[in-house]
Amino acid sequence: MNMQPEEYERYLDILEISPGASYSEIREAYLHLKSLYSEESIVTLPIRDDISEERKKEILRDIEEAYQILAGSCEQKDLSEVEGKTIHLSADEFDQAPVAAINFGGQTLREIRERQGVDLQKMALSTRIQVHFLQRIENEEFDALPPETYVRGFVVSYSQCLHLDPKKVADDYMKRYQLWKKNM
Partner 1 sequence: MESRYQPTVHTLMIPGLDLDAGAGRWGVHDPAGKSQKESGVEARTEKERSPAPEIWAVGGGKGGTGKSFLISSIANCLALQGKKIILVDADFGGANLHTFLGVSKPKVSLTDFLEKRVPLTDLVVESGIENMGLLIGAIHSLAPDDMKYTQKLKLFRHIRKLDTDYILLDLGAGSHFNTLDTFLLADKKIIVVLPEITAIENSYYFLKNAFFRQLLKTLGDHGFKDLILNAWSDRETHNIASLSQLIDYLRSVSTTVENIINRELSNFGAHIILNRVTTGQEVVIGRSIKSVCKKYFCVDAKYVGYVEHDSIIPRCINKRKPFMQACPGTRCAREIERVTENLLDGKDINTRI
Residues in contact with partner 1 by CB under 8 A are 16, 25, 28, 32-33, 36-37, 41-47, 49-51, 55, 59, 126, 160-161
Count the neighbouring beta carbons within 10 Å of the beta carbon of residue 159: 23
CB 130, min distance to partner 1, A? 17
How far is the CA of 133 from the CAs of 36, 72, 105, 136, 141, in angstroms? 32, 34, 15, 5, 9
Cβ(118)–Cβ(24) below 8 Å = yes
CB 36, min distance to partner 1, A? 5
Nearer to partner 1, 16 or 93 (CB): 16
Nearer to partner 1, 36 or 97 (CB): 36
- For the four alpha carbons of 60, 63, 64 and 66, in that order, the dihedral sign comes to positive
Nearer to partner 1, 40 or 93 (CB): 40
Cβ(92)–Cβ(26) below 8 Å = no
CB 14, min distance to partner 1, A? 9
CB 168, min distance to partner 1, A? 18
- 3-class SS at 95? helix
Nearer to partner 1, 44 or 177 (CB): 44
